[in-house]
Structures are given as C-alpha cells and as structure tokens.
A and B are shown apart, each in its own frame.
Chain A
Amino acid sequence: MSDSTGLRYLETHEWVRLEGKIATVGISDHAQKEISDVVFVELPKPDRTVKQKESVLVIESVKAAFDIYAPMSGKVIRVNETLKTKPDLVNRSPYGEGWLFQVECSDLKEAEALMDESRYKSLGHAAGH
C-alpha cells in the first residue's frame, strides 16, 4: 500500500487510489517535499460532501499552510485519525501511512480527468519514494 503504482493525480499534487467506489487520497512525494515539516493536518469532518477540485483540508507545515483539494466528488467516509498525533507521517510515508481521507465517489467518470503517473511525472514532479 505504500507505493505509488496505479495512482492518479490532480495537477495540484493530490493522488488518489481507486478501489471500487472508494477513493483514498493523499499528496505526492513531490508535494510533501515542497510543504516540508508537516505539523498539523486539519482533517475534514466525516460525512462531508465534497466536489472534485474543492478545497477539503489544510496541511500546516512550519513554513506555511497549504490547501488540499479533492480529486473526486463524493462523501468523506473516513479520515486518517493517526495524523492527529503523527502529522509527520505525511512526510515520512506520503503514499502509505500518510494518506489523508477516503471518499465514496459519486461519479467514477471524474477519474478520466485525472493524470496517470507517467503524465504527472512528465510535469517534472517525479513521484519518487
């Protein structure tokens, strides 16, 4: 679960892993390096309905606060509670334990608008590990 195989990306550096209607969301390795030193993740409330590309949560690092956008529309069904005590998991394991939230997608076709890994990498944001 901690590799980036098969992920799709929003141009704003959020990744999504689709399993049926369930989308798990995090930020790319490139993004966590840009953000650096995450000290707080303001998680969304479960049951909140989000739209694709809508701002869902804020990641606070020592240097700044960063808005994180929903790659898919739907209902937030789970948030990563571990980040409340270990926000630095976003830095240490961006594709694994540092995931942010899960959405039950309302429209799977939206995934077509997302980039695959090679496309995302071609923008110069190599996923890395």
Chain B
Amino acid sequence: MVLTRFPDDFEARMALLQEAHSLQKTPLYDRHVALGGKMVDFAGWLMPVYYTGIIAEHLWTRKSCGVFDVSHLGEIQVKGPGALDFLQYRLTNDLNKINDGQILYNLLCDEGGFALDDVLAYRSGAEDFYLIVNAANIGRDYEALSRYAPASVSLVDRSDSTACVAIQGPRSEGILERLFGFRLEGLRYYHFGKETLAGRPVWISRSGYTGEDGFEIFSEPAAVGQIWDKLIGEGRSLGTLPAGLGARNTLRLEAGNALYGSDMDRATTPLEAGLGWAVSFDKGRFVGRDGLLKQKEHGPRRRLVGFKMLDKPIAREGYPIFKAGRKIGVVTSGSYGPSAGYNIGLGFVEAQSAVRGTGIEIEVHGRSVRAEIAKLPFVPSQHKK
C-alpha cells in the first residue's frame, strides 16, 4: 500500500467498480460480495481486502481461525521423466531435501540470480510437482520455466482449474477435523495429503503465510463453494470467520514473510532478501548460481530488514530510510502490527547498517520519524513441526 490521496483513491475505486468486468474473479467472488467484502484490485483480481475490518480479522486469525480465499494464486504442474532434474536446475533450493508429499520453498531466478518469483514446490512424485506461484507472475513464471524444460517434461498451467482456501489460526486443525472428518494430527508442517471432499479430490497442506498453524485446501473451482460454505457456515460456531487480503498482509508482515512484488522484485536477489536458506549452492548447477555465488563471496550490498517504528506514523512502501541524516535505504512494506501493537515494516538498507538495534529515521509525510532495526519475526511463529 502506498500513500494515497483520498480523492484520487476514491475516484480510482469508482473507476475500478465500473471496470470490474475486466478484472478476474475467483469462484468465490459472489460469496465475498454477499458477505459485505470490500473488493479491491489485487494483481488483476477482484479480492476482498476485508469484510468487517482488517484489525478484527487479523486478531481473530491469531486467536481462533481465519478463512481466506487465495484462489488467485497460480499453480503450474511440472510433470514427466526428468521433472526432478529439471526443477533442480531451474529452482534454487534442493528438492532432494524433501520426499513425496512434502513442500519446499524456492526462488525462481533469472540467469543473473535475480528473483523472478518465489514459489512453493509441492512434490507429488519425482516426476510430478506442483508449483504454487504469485498471481501476478503466472505468465512470466511459465515462460521462465518453459525456456529450460526438456521435451520429456510437460508444464501445465492449472491456475484456472485450481481454487484454494487457506484456513489459518490455532483452532484450524480441530475445526477441519470436525467439519470434514480429516485426521490432521499426523500431517506435519509443509507436508500435504490427498483427500476426498464431497466426492471430489482435494489436496490439503499444513502451510500458510500468516505465521500461525494452518492449512491450505486446493480443489477444483466447482468444489470450492461448498468447502467455503461449510467453513464459514457450519464452521462459524466452531470459531471461523472469513478474513481478507488486508489481514493476510498484516499477518505475513508480523511473521516477517517477504511479499514478492513489494519486498522483492526482479532486481532483488534471494541473498539480499534474507532468503539464502532457500538457495542450495551444494546441489550442483542451477540457473542464477554463478551470480549468486559471486554475491555470496562479496556479501550483498543491501539487505532486507525488519524495523519497528518508535513513533506513531506508519512508514509505507517507498519512504526513504536514513541513518544519522544519510540515506541508507527504502521501505518496502509497512503497516500497523495489530498483534505487535506498534508500527512495523520491512525495507532494504545498506548491508553495514543491517544490524538489529540500529537506530534509523524514516521520512514520513515530510518529517523524520525514529525507528529501529528489529528482529524478525515481529510475532513468533506458531508452526507445528
């Protein structure tokens, strides 16, 4: 989110509603509108930013269970003999670290080692993977993958035939077991299983973006309405509430999760973004390795850090960061942290200043506001190991 002049914002919003037909809608669109969801353009999709309020939905997710429509996410299936070797070469992390039924976080880099996207690789088998990619990048990712894919490996964009609902928060496991009869105790973090719901196949993974324990259910678009209705209908008395992308954003920010498109773009390397743990230099050759190795040897010149505001205003995307009056970086994400109770953000600063506790100043609405480089995450993760 950026500094928005109210009238412009309003006009933009009106124009948006008039052009709504040109934006994509998930299969749950009508349900969001019926629930009073405030619909906004997110990466070309009309998505609910909130239903009742961002703070309420954020706090409810930390305390109980928030249900999010994330059907805008892209899914690219990578299938055929050589799929594993191809992805080992095309992605940054080492897929031999995981077994079938597991998920691994990866970067998709260009030849220079710059991030084209961050993707989750779901390993169904050595010859069958699903990559979950950011909505805005589906086409570009597909291109970047296909350029290197051998003839034996087929790439299929399943984004239009896959819907996804995220169920996040401490009560998620109990609620899903109760509503759908799943047995989830044995499903570990970043593992997934194949189930049947109302006669239709679904995948359920223990995963999410909020820092809470939680799950994501992938289904056919035709089946997601029924799943959603049960989650927020019957589920309500068990502790669910629908939550929008606004809460998803504040939750991920408190959890210290970078968002591609805000905190990373194709001018960012994974090492700068603090994602070196998802780059395996030991696994052999991969696209972008040379550039990344060189950067690793010298150390990146800038680093993504978390910061805590020491005064009231919120530092938002694009605001400059200073240290003792000298510009050292820029804010990439900023918000009030509803669970943290103060204003937080992520930003790039020169590497020598990327030290926890360092006092910085951020220019907000023309004045200098004190902040401090902070430990990530802002709110401890509650993932079940």
Tell me the A residues contacting B by CB distance below 8 Å: 11-13, 31, 34-37, 39-40, 42, 58, 60, 62-68
Known contacts A39-B336, A60-B313, A63-B1; is-contact A13 B54 (Cβ 8 Å): no
Cβ proximity bits B1-14 to A, threshold 8 Å, 1 near / 0 not? 11111110110010
In the bound complex, do residue B10 and residue A62 qualify as a contact, i.e. CB atoms below 8 Å apart? no
A12 to B6, CA, bound (A): 7
Could you list 5 further interchain pairs (A-B, Cβ under 8 angstroms) beyond the known A34-B9, A36-B38, A37-B54? A36-B50, A62-B55, A62-B338, A64-B4, A65-B365
A67 to B314, CA, bound (A): 14
How many whole Å from A66's CB to the nearest CB in chain B?
4
Q: Which residue of B lies closest to A33 (CB)?
A: B38
In the bound complex, do residue B6 and residue A13 qualify as a contact, i.e. CB atoms below 8 Å apart? yes
A40 to B364, CA, bound (A): 13
In the bound complex, do residue A65 and residue B10 qualify as a contact, i.e. CB atoms below 8 Å apart? no
A62 to B57, CA, bound (A): 12
Q: A62: which of B13, B312, B335 is its contact (CB, 8 Å)?
A: B335
Q: B246: which of A39, A63, A65 is its contact (CB, 8 Å)?
A: A63
Known contacts A39-B336, A40-B312; is-contact A34 B13 (Cβ 8 Å): yes
Interface of A is mostly: mixed
Q: Which residue of A lies closest to B4 (CB)?
A: A64
Q: B313: which of A36, A37, A40, A63 is its contact (CB, 8 Å)?
A: A40
Q: B53: which of A36, A58, A68 is its contact (CB, 8 Å)?
A: A36
Q: Which residue of A lies closest to B50 (CB)?
A: A36
Q: Inside 8 A of A31's CB, which chain B residues have their CB?
A: 6
Known contacts A13-B10, A42-B313, A60-B313; is-contact A65 B54 (Cβ 8 Å): no
Residue from B4, B13, B250 whose CB has the most chain A CB atoms within 10 Å? B4
Interface of B is mostly: mixed
In the bound complex, do residue A42 and residue B365 qualify as a contact, i.e. CB atoms below 8 Å apart? yes
Q: Inside 8 A of A35's CB, which chain B residues have their CB?
A: 6
Q: Inside 8 A of B10's CB, which chain A residues have their CB?
A: 13, 34
B49 beta carbon closer than 8 Å to chain A: yes
How many whole Å from A61's CB to the nearest CB in chain B?
8
In the bound complex, do residue A66 and residue B54 qualify as a contact, i.e. CB atoms below 8 Å apart? no
Q: Inside 8 A of A13's CB, which chain B residues have their CB?
A: 6-7, 10
* A-B pairs, 3 with minimum CB distance: A64-B4, A66-B6, A62-B54
A35 to B6, CA, bound (A): 9
Q: Which residue of B lies closest to A55 (CB)?
A: B5
A13 to B10, CA, bound (A): 10
How many whole Å from B211's CB to the nearest CB in chain A?
17
Q: Which residue of A lies closest to B10 (CB)?
A: A34
Known contacts A36-B54, A58-B365, A60-B314; is-contact A66 B9 (Cβ 8 Å): yes
B90 beta carbon closer than 8 Å to chain A: no
Q: Which residue of B lies closest to A67 (CB)?
A: B5
How many whole Å from A50's CB to the nearest CB in chain B?
16
Known contacts A62-B335, A62-B336; is-contact A12 B54 (Cβ 8 Å): no
Q: List 28 A-B contacts (CB under 8 A).
A: A12-B6, A13-B7, A34-B6, A35-B6, A36-B38, A37-B53, A37-B55, A39-B314, A39-B343, A40-B312, A40-B313, A40-B336, A42-B312, A42-B313, A42-B365, A58-B313, A60-B336, A62-B336, A63-B54, A64-B4, A64-B9, A65-B313, A65-B365, A66-B4, A66-B5, A66-B6, A67-B5, A67-B6
